[in-house]
Structure 1
Amino acid sequence: MKRILVIIVGLTSLLSAAQEVQFSTKDNDLKLATLPYYNYGRGLGLTSPDSIFQLNIRFRMQNRMSFIQLEDQEEILDGQIRRLRLRFDGYVGNPKFLYAIQLSFAPGDVGVIEDGENVNIIRDAVVFYRPNKYWSIAFGQTKLPGNRQRVNSSGALQLTDRTINNARFNIDRDFGVQTYYLHEKKDAFSYNLKTAISTGNGRNVTKNPDNGYALTGKVEVFPMGSFTKDGTTFEGDIAREKTPKLMLSGVLHKNIRARFTQGQLGDDLFDKRDMQSVLLDAMVKYDGWSFMTTYMNRTADDAITFNPEDATDFKYVYIGEGMDYQLSYLFLNNIEVIGRFSTQNVHETIKSFTPDTKQYSLGVTKYFWEHAFKIQSEFSFDQLSYANGSTRDNWYLRFQVEIGI
């Protein structure tokens, strides 16, 4: 524990923290460039008469209807409020001292309510100190600096949800300390450096504290300068870049003595395991065209854990790798066509328990007010390949409306 405290203090003193903030009392808008959600407009803002306090209130909801066909099963018609979020951000006393809160209320966000546990509505609760426009430090619970699609808000996606690899291999929200150094320039080579030290246990885990921890480091490079309107934080070329823009990024994440099958997510393991994730991203945007690709990988030694009271009962770390490719074009009438292809290959150790997967997706989105108000339709086809040589084909058709401020 002493070593962890030394690491935290050392990083804090050496790096200070990372997050560029642009503040304007004229339009009463506080933009936190690295917060895990997409902003369009200002939301509803309140500033005290003496300007020592600011509160911005925002909401968004996703209403979804899906028709699902799983091979050898009856078709499913599913209608749900997929996401319902309420968020607050601002500063107290001085724009250098910032806060961000995000709450979730939809059943899919809250998750299963366990006996004796609190309702899991807190997604983000984090305090920032920003000494200048380059450095900042965050303390609390929020998203780790992971792969691009995971860090971006679910409200800033082109299709109705993230990829199958994000569902299995991403790193998620966690409680800890994050430090960022942001050095973006509009038309010149730029880069960002991001680090985090966290519990490794994920969101709102309070039972059975332990000695595990997670270390995360990320580098983002912009060879042709930064994107218009922080264009890496949303999918699709809504800003219609006038010159080509490219982002390359890499993440290394170590979760020491992890308790869950997917690090910060998943079921409880019977025994703790050390895990390592490598996440690589590339994004290109130009004149309505957008292309994204991602490589995701998780490894762990001795991935299978057994119930000490029943040798036939086991849980395993989800290890393997995957690739995502996503291409889109936004027409002048703000209708966008999106195609996506994903491959997911599990490690040989767990191949007997779970299949390899390929997913093909085609979507059409109509933007009324950028990502803040849009209608999305998507068709996805999954091919599952099992270790015994059998295959299974599943597909779904989905319609979704997103609206927020």
Structure 2
Amino acid sequence: MKKILLLSLFFISFIGTSQVTIKQTKDDNDLKLSALPYYSFGKGLGLTSPDSIFQLNIRFRMQNRVTYLENDGENGAYDGQIRRLRLRFDGYVGNPKFLYAIQLSFAPGDVGEIREGENINIIRDAVVFYRPNRHWNLSFGQTKLPGNRQRINSSGGLQLTDRTINNAKFTVDRDFGFQVHNLNEFKDKFSYNFKAAISTGEGRNSTEKPDDGVAVTGKVEAFPFGAFSKDGTNFEGDIVREKKPKLMVSGAFQQNNHARRTQGQLGNDLFDTRTMKSVMLDAMFKYNGWAAMMSYMSRTTNKNAVTFNPDDITETSFAYVGNGFDYQASYNTKSNYEFIARYSVQNVANDIRALAPNTKQYSIGVTKYIWEHAFKLQTELNFDTLNFADGTTKNNWYLRFQVEIGI
């Protein structure tokens, strides 16, 4: 009953504050929505009705890549693919305070394998916003949760071709629910943001049987020297060459009650639910072409992470628990050639030590920015060391070239 009352009060307050009249300005299509930190050099293709009742912006981006890889004990191989192909629509309807955003994905790596009885994962974002002023964003729908910095950033704003091994295992991802963001960013003085979300905890496009478990996420961001130029928090590397040192530190926490999947919102199904707690800490620094990032991520469960098939006890599925650190540094020259180095270490928890390796990852890369992050050429050399519980070690590496282009 208390939950129903709280939701009712939320809707009443939302409707009550929405009866407003706003004068349109030249910046109305500058969304600045903190739950949608897509890197965008321009504003895409925009359409606005003659009476200014609605606006539609259209954007696309794609990543084409070729990789040569050698995994320990296997022959070398080549892989060429469209890693990402995204189409995004955003704008407002009726009033610039009421906004929407839709993002669709079409690449095989985004959609995933089509399996009988499961959804096709084309929809990445489908969310509506109420933005009463520049300090508040309220949203309802499916989009990214306020988790770790690298996951929140668009894959189009990365320095290297992929996110880290820790992001792959310990991140909190897109989910369906409510979010409230309070933004207090200023150019040259201390700034801070508060972000919170209540979501289903099941991940994107879930149509599983409803349960009584929800995910609660909270995040705090602090900018001791003021906000980054051109929303620089939302992309890696100092491509704008900050004239003054800029620093961001942040911390996020999520509790996902009765999670059904191995990584909360991501992964395969568990045979039994687990309540998962995630901690994510980040720091980002930029100045005069130099940039550095550091992050810590961890996940724990309320009981043993390994679950067993009740019909066949020899078959198991486990929540991915453990922790990891990422360290990344770069320098962008005045001719927009960027040199990047990254080191990651990942340690799994004792519950799953016999089932998953501890991993170290070393990456170096060179990126040429032609049109900032919107059009760039990337090369990356990556080396992984996997240490298993039985004392064996595997070494895998790849060399990759990627082209990113979008509007």
TM over 0.5: yes
Cα shift at 1:207: 2.7
Structure 2 residue identity aligned to 1:392: K
Number of residue-to-residue matches in the alignment: 399
Task: Please state if 1:375 is matched with 2:377.
Answer: yes
Residues 156 and 325 (structure 1), Cα distance of their counterparts in 2 relative to 1, 3 Å cut: same
What are the superposed Cα offsets for residues 311-336 of structure 1, whole Å, 9 maximum, x if unpaired? 11111110000000000000011000
Residues 385 and 9 (structure 1), Cα distance of their counterparts in 2 relative to 1, 3 Å cut: farther
Work out the CA distance in 1 between the residues paired with 2:117 and 2:296. Answer: 39
Work out the CA distance in 2 between the residues paired with 1:146 and 1:388. Answer: 34
Work out the CA distance in 1 between the residues paired with 2:290 and 2:231. Answer: 16
Residue 230 of structure 1 aligns to a residue in which SS?
helix
- Which residues in structure 2 correspond to 1:163-202 (within 5 Å)? 163-202=164-203
Equivalent residue number for residue 256 of structure 1: 257
Check conservation: 1:241, 1:285, Cα contact below 8 A: yes
Q: 1:351 aligns with which of 350, 353, 370?
A: 353
Equivalent residue number for residue 285 of structure 1: 286
Work out the CA distance in 1 between the residues paired with 2:228 and 2:13. Answer: 28
Structure 2 residue identity aligned to 1:89: D
Check conservation: 1:15, 1:180, Cα contact below 8 A: no
If the length of structure 1 is used for normalisation, what is the TM-score?
A: 0.95
- Which residues in structure 2 correspond to 1:7-86 (within 5 Å)? 8=7, 25-26=25-26, 29-34=29-34, 35-86=36-87
Work out the CA distance in 2 between the residues paired with 1:15 and 1:322. Answer: 40
Residues 394 and 288 (structure 1), Cα distance of their counterparts in 2 relative to 1, 3 Å cut: same
Work out the CA distance in 2 between the residues paired with 1:28 and 1:98. Answer: 10
Residues 226 and 306 (structure 1), Cα distance of their counterparts in 2 relative to 1, 3 Å cut: same
What are the superposed Cα offsets for residues 132-185 of structure 1, whole Å, 9 maximum, x if unpaired? 111121000000000100000000000000000000000000000000000001
Residue 229 of structure 1 aligns to a residue in which SS?
helix
Work out the CA distance in 1 between the residues paired with 2:283 and 2:207. Answer: 36
Task: Please state if 1:215 is matched with 2:213.
Answer: no
Unaligned 5+ segments in structure 1 are 18-22
Check conservation: 2:119, 2:205, Cα contact below 8 A: no
Check conservation: 2:293, 2:328, Cα contact below 8 A: yes
Residue 232 of structure 1 aligns to a residue in which SS?
helix
Check conservation: 1:127, 1:138, Cα contact below 8 A: yes
Unaligned 5+ segments in structure 2 are 18-22
Equivalent residue number for residue 136 of structure 1: 137
Check conservation: 1:8, 1:197, Cα contact below 8 A: no
Work out the CA distance in 1 between the residues paired with 2:6 and 2:74. Answer: 52
Percent sequence identity over aligned pairs: 64
Structure 1 residue identity aligned to 2:29: D
Equivalent residue number for residue 99 of structure 1: 100
Equivalent residue number for residue 20 of structure 2: none
Work out the CA distance in 2 between the residues paired with 1:62 and 1:24. Answer: 35
Work out the CA distance in 2 between the residues paired with 1:354 and 1:117. Answer: 27
Check conservation: 1:12, 1:137, Cα contact below 8 A: no
Work out the CA distance in 2 between the residues paired with 1:340 and 1:12. Answer: 45
Q: What is the root-mean-square deviation in Å for CA atoms of aligned residues?
A: 1.8
What are the superposed Cα offsets for residues 229-256 of structure 1, whole Å, 9 maximum, x if unpaired? 0100000001111000000000010000
If the length of structure 2 is used for normalisation, what is the TM-score?
A: 0.95
